[in-house]
Amino acid sequence: MSTSFVENRQVLNTIFAKDSRLPKEVMVFCPACKTFETVCFNRGVLNQTRKFTQYGNHIYHDCGSKEPCRLYMTL
């Protein structure tokens, strides 16, 4: 069985869709420190987490990187 991953643009469209009522699990990759974790969004808002912060449509890791994280989700 193979798994396909979709990167940023399609993930953002899915997460922030107006009719998106179900929680979405998304894999987040920090390009600065290479952290790779799963986070959840509910109605386009990042569920509270200690390691990641949402500013608008971008997610940032608490390592201090000024570059937004990359988002991935399975199809």
Q: Is the pLDDT of residue 67 over 60?
A: yes
pTM to 2 decimals?
Answer: 0.73
With 60 as the cut, is the pLDDT of residue 1 above it? no
Domain positions in the chain are 5-74
**4/34: higher pLDDT:** 34
Q: Which helix (H) or strand (E) holds 15?
A: helix 8-15
Q: Residues 13, 15, 16, CA angle at the centre, nearest 5°?
A: 70
Pairs from 55-61 (Cβ < 8 Å, separation ≥ 24): 57/12, 57/16, 59/28, 61/28, 61/30, 61/32, 61/33, 61/35
> What pLDDT is recorded for position 42?
82
Per residue in 15-58, pLDDT tens?
A: 666 555 666 788 999 999 999 999 988 877 888 889 999 998 88
- Predicted confidence at residue 7, as pLDDT, reads 56
> Integer distance in angstroms from the first to the last C-alpha of the chain?
13
Determine phi and psi for 4, rounding to 5 degrees: -105, 145
